[in-house]
Amino acid sequence: MPVTLESVYADAMSLPDDAKQELVERLVTELQAEVDPELEQLHIEDAKRRRDAMRAGAVQSVPGPEALKLARAAIIR
């Protein structure tokens, strides 16, 4: 039987919590290894720009539940 995402997920869900945590960390580490350094630098610069705008009061934050509501409404249009 071929390995599928569903079978891997089912196997992972049967692991103890500490093993699940280690699996997640390994997967994230693997994915991060493939990130383009130039793209990562652009992301960091954008995050800093947004942080600075928040600190300066140039923009206001939106609470998480409200942000999700707005995002869902934009997708459903």
Structure token digits, residue 62: 């939106």
User: Which position has the token pair 């409404």?
Assistant: 73
Report how far Cα 6 is from the mean position of its chain's Cα atoms. 21
**Model confidence at 1: pLDDT above 90:** no
User: CB neighbours (10 Å) of residue 20?
Assistant: 13
Query: What does the pLDDT look like over 15-66, one tens digit per residue?
Result: 999 999 999 999 998 888 788 889 989 999 999 999 999 999 999 999 999 9
pLDDT of residue 2: 86
**What is the b/e burial string over 28-53, where b = at least 16 CB atoms within 10 angstroms of the residue's CB?**
eeeeeeeeeeeeeeeeeeeeeeeeee
